[in-house]
Amino acid sequence: MTLRGALIGCGFFARNHMQAWADIGEARIVAVCDTDAAKAHAFAAEFGAVAFGDAAEMLAAVRPDFTDIATAVASHRALVTLAARHSRAVICQKPFAETLADAGAMVAVCEAAGVPLLVHENFRWQRPFRALGAALTSGVIGPPSFLRLSFRHAFDIYANQPYLAKIEDLALTDVGLHLFDMARFLMGDVASVYCQTQRLNPRVAGQDAFLATLRHASGAVTSVECSFFSHYTPDPFVQTLAIAEGPLGSIELLEGYRMRLHKAGRVEETDVEPEVPDWGGKPWHLVQESVVAFQRHAIAVMQGRAVGQPSGADNLRTLAVTLAAIRSARTGQVVDGLSADP
């Protein structure tokens, strides 16, 4: 049976959601909503859906199997609460929430309604990181003790999303939380964080670079670095590069989607480049394919075949790390105690 979905928010990234749902035969978006009527009608016409200007009206009329929320963070709590009353599953775009109180409230309302809540954290669903996660789980390098994640580029991210240039904690809240989620996915829960930020691009009002050190509950350490104003030729955008080290060897994710295993005096290289969707193109295929992978996973969750990765409850811990990194950058202090429940 094809699952019927409703999309709230018809902005820049929502197009990836719509294209990916259209790729997946087990689900179909039947209704879309945006406060900008022109955007809603354009999406509806292109993808064969019905357009609405009010989310409550749409959900009451359609009663979808799932609601996909692709709006700005300030609207999430109200929309998740509304969707929990009218659908059987809720997917919420990142950032999940601005505060732990709002995030906890969304988790609680969905739990009370018996509705699965997933957060659209697509970085951990990128093919290179699915491959790295599988390699670490296999034990090929033993229990990992160190991870480095590096997302550095000078691509003009402000052209399609000009509001980003006005966000105070830009790098941490736009990409940092993706990187922290990947660190947790690969290395386990975080116990403490120390973070320093920079403002590099004079066009940007907030902090567009940071360096964070995470100590995990296992004792392992992750170095997370991000910059939106680092100049390389060719520019590595949109790739995140990585190194994972363990007692038996190391694994690198390098430019050009190369995964290299260093073990027993030998190097083994694997191509982990994702396929380009029919509707996609390079270099965006890394993101586009990850959206398809995440949404296939969401269908498995809705069908009872998988546990949400990440669920709203799991994403509370990623949000706690992100907020702790912001606090650390402002105070210059290590923030610990993060392994306890948020």
Digit-coded pLDDT (tens) for 227-277: 999 999 999 999 999 999 999 999 999 999 999 999 999 999 999 999 999
Residue 211: phi and psi, rounded to 5, are -130, 125
Confidence of residue 302 (pLDDT cuts 50, 70, 90): very high
Digit-coded pLDDT (tens) for 133-178: 999 999 999 999 999 999 999 999 999 889 899 999 999 999 999 9
Kindly report whether the peptide bond that precedes residue 144 is cis, defined as omega within 30 degrees of 0. Answer: no
Percentage of the chain modeled with pLDDT above 90: 95
The reported pLDDT for the residue numbered 1 is 82
- Mean pLDDT value across residues 186-204: 97
Digit-coded pLDDT (tens) for 91-143: 999 999 999 999 999 999 999 999 999 999 999 999 999 999 999 999 999 99
Confidence of residue 328 (pLDDT cuts 50, 70, 90): very high
pLDDT of 43 strictly over 90: yes
What Rg do the C-alpha atoms of the chain give, in angstroms?
20
The reported pLDDT for the residue numbered 6 is 98
Digit-coded pLDDT (tens) for 20-29: 999 998 999 9
Burial 257-275 (b: 16+ CB within 10 A, else e): bebebbeeeeeeeeebbbe
pLDDT of 326 strictly over 80: yes
pLDDT of 341 strictly over 90: no
pLDDT of 339 strictly over 90: no
The reported pLDDT for the residue numbered 298 is 97
- Dihedral of the CA atoms 232, 233, 239, 244 (nearest 10)? -70
Confidence of residue 208 (pLDDT cuts 50, 70, 90): very high
CB 193 within 8 A of CB 212: yes
Q: Pick from 298, 289, 288: which is nearest to 120 by CA? A: 298
pTM: 0.95
Which residue has tokens 């396929």? 275
Q: Which domains, ranges and CATH numbers included, belong to the chain?
A: 3-120 (3.40.50.720), 123-278+311-331 (3.30.360.10)
The reported pLDDT for the residue numbered 160 is 85
pLDDT of 311 strictly over 90: yes
